[in-house]
């Protein structure tokens, strides 16, 4: 890799694979370039597994000047990842292999002023320390989740290893924060005997190696966790790095990058009444069983509400079936949706296979609610656009996020599961959809999310706390 001369101070970034991690880091990179006078090189991890959505992000023709994307040497996934590896193990092994080329990339860039990484790239701390480059972590979920993650290694030491956290008969008390019910823990913390837990713990233990931690949140959204992280004796004693709340950081869809299917969808939205459409989208990696897709279809039909449904081929074995290949669109929904569903709902709803320009749809005046997997990027997007949610968590930390959205912020409601296999039934789905779109509870949620939307706008406006916080970090790099 040849040395590139920059007329501006340079910052480098590296993210683990996955649209949910790449997107916020790339949006932060754009902000550093356009608002703070930096040249940013985004060091992308390349694998033999195609992810059309991720490639579209990294190869966007609207990338601003001074934002450069460079792919690190391609990792042959089949050579480094066992076929039965779970999500986090798979991520960690891919990153571990890619970081081997990080030192030469940073040297070729002339040793940037700072390196910004995500939670699964902490091996990069060792490289940056060797080169004398300060490294920062962009923690891509909530302040509440950061507080729990910093506490988890201590919790692991204090609770007998013969007992799983999920078996505890009492809530887990996170220092200075809201307690977490065992059933709401992130997936990787529910079984301490598996490799996923060990790998997660490894990276969480290394969070304190960061020169600072950026968070896609803002003070007014999560005042209690931010106060705990800065003032609680537990976090003070463990020397938590400086916390930089810089949210909301989210993708803005540029009109020139929209696909024809997205334009058609937005054109349909233009013809619908204000706040009358429900968006159903379960993130870049989320997948459902065949039975659950059938129940959603019947539930939408029974609700008699307008909808846009981003649907994918069912996967019975996992809830994160498209995490590494987001954006693939190689199937026909008619082959797995109930017979006649598309015909019966023609004009009332739109089915979008696999992928959508989500930000543009959430921000449209006709969108009235969002059925979401509760990934943090989607939650932030919905709050910043003032759209109430139906919480449908699938994997990772999404159950914890769902509790925050429903019980603490009051901007979402959960669907009740029916049956022993926790399938959400059509009647429950229809009832919840009507409640949010037409009921009093929906109006209350809409008012609450409207207040948070205003706080998001104030946080990110020029002179707002999030912009001032980011500017303070930038000032240190420039000096």
Domains with residue ranges and CATH for the chain? 10-140 (3.40.50.2000), 143-245 (3.40.50.2000), 255-457 (3.40.50.2000)
* 262 HSE (CA, 13 A, CB side): 17
Residue 466 to residue 382: CA distance in whole angstroms: 18
35 is catalytic: no
Residue 244 to residue 258: CA distance in whole angstroms: 32
Strand ranges in 348-471 using DSSP code E only, listed in sequence order:
349-353, 367-372, 389-391, 412-414
Over its C-alpha atoms, the chain yields an Rg (Å, rounded) of 22
How does pLDDT run along the chain (479 residues), one tens digit per residue?
444 445 899 999 999 999 999 999 999 999 999 999 999 999 999 999 888 889 999 999 889 999 999 999 999 999 999 999 999 999 999 999 999 999 999 999 999 999 999 999 999 999 999 999 999 999 999 999 999 999 999 999 999 999 999 899 999 999 999 999 999 999 999 999 999 999 999 999 999 999 999 999 999 999 999 999 999 999 999 999 999 999 999 988 777 778 899 999 999 999 999 999 999 999 988 999 999 999 999 999 999 999 999 999 999 989 898 888 887 766 789 999 999 999 999 999 999 987 899 999 999 999 999 999 999 999 999 999 999 999 999 999 999 999 999 999 999 999 976 655 578 999 999 999 999 999 999 999 999 999 999 999 999 999 999 999 999 999 999 97
b/e burial code for range 106-126 (CB count within 10 A of at least 16 → b)? beebeebbbbbbbbbbbbbbe
Residue whose entry in the numeric block shows the structure tokens 């846009």: 308
21 is catalytic: yes
The token pair at 470 is 């980011």
Q: Is 377 exposed, middle or buried (0-12, 13-18, 19+ CB in 10 A)?
A: buried
Of 9, 3, 4, nearest in space to 38 by CA: 9
pTM: 0.95
The active-site residue out of 118, 184, 187, 262 is: 118
The active-site residue out of 21, 68, 364, 373 is: 21
């Amino acid at each position: 890799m040849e040395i590139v001369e920059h007329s501006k101070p340079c910052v480098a970034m590296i993210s683990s694979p996955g649209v949910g991690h790449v997107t916020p880091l790339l949006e932060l990179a754009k902000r550093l370039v356009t608002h703070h006078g930096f040249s940013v090189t985004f060091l992308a991890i390349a694998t033999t597994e195609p992810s059309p959505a991720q490639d579209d992000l990294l190869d966007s023709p609207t990338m601003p000047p001074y934002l450069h994307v460079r792919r690190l040497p391609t990792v042959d996934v089949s050579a480094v990842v066992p076929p039965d590896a779970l999500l986090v193990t798979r991520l960690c092994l891919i990153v571990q292999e890619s970081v081997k080329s990080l030192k030469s990339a940073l040297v070729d860039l002339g040793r940037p002023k700072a390196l910004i990484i995500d939670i699964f790239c902490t091996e990069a701390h060792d490289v940056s320390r060797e080169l004398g480059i300060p490294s920062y972590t962009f923690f891509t979920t909530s302040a509440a989740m950061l507080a729990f993650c910093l506490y988890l290694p201590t919790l692991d030491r204090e609770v007998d290893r013969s007992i799983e956290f999920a078996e505890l008969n009492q809530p887990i008390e996170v220092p200075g924060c809201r307690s977490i019910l065992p059933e709401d823990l992130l997936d990787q913390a529910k079984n301490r005997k598996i490799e996923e837990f060990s790998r997660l713990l490894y990276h969480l233990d290394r969070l304190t190696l960061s020169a600072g931690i950026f968070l896609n949140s803002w003070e007014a959204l999560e005042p209690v966790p931010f106060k705990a992280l800065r003032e609680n004796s537990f976090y003070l004693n463990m020397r938590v790095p400086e916390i930089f709340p810089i949210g909301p950081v989210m993708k803005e869809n540029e009109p020139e990058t929209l696909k024809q299917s997205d334009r058609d969808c937005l054109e349909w939205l233009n013809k619908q009444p204000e706040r009358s459409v429900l968006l159903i989208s379960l993130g870049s990696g989320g997948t459902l069983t065949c039975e659950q897709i059938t129940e959603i279809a019947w539930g939408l039909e029974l609700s008699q509400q307008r909808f846009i449904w981003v649907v994918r081929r069912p996967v019975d074995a996992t809830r994160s079936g498209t995490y590494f290949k987001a954006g693939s669109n190689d199937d026909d929904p008619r082959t797995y949706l109930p017979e006649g569903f598309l015909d019966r709902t023609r004009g009332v709803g739109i089915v979008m296979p696999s992928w959508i320009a989500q930000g543009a749809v959430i921000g449209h005046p006709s969108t009235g609610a969002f059925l979401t997997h509760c990934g943090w990027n989607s939650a932030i997007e919905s709050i910043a656009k003032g759209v109430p949610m139906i919480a449908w968590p699938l994997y990772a930390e999404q159950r914890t996020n769902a509790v925050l959205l429903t019980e603490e912020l009051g901007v979402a409601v959960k669907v009740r599961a029916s049956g022993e296999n926790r399938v959400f039934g059509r009647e429950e789905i229809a009832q919840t959809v009507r409640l949010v779109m037409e009921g009093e509870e929906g109006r209350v949620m809409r008012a609450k999310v409207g207040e948070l939307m205003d706080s998001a706008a104030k946080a990110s406006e020029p002179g707002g706390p999030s912009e001032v916080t980011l500017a303070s970090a930038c000032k240190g790099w420039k000096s």
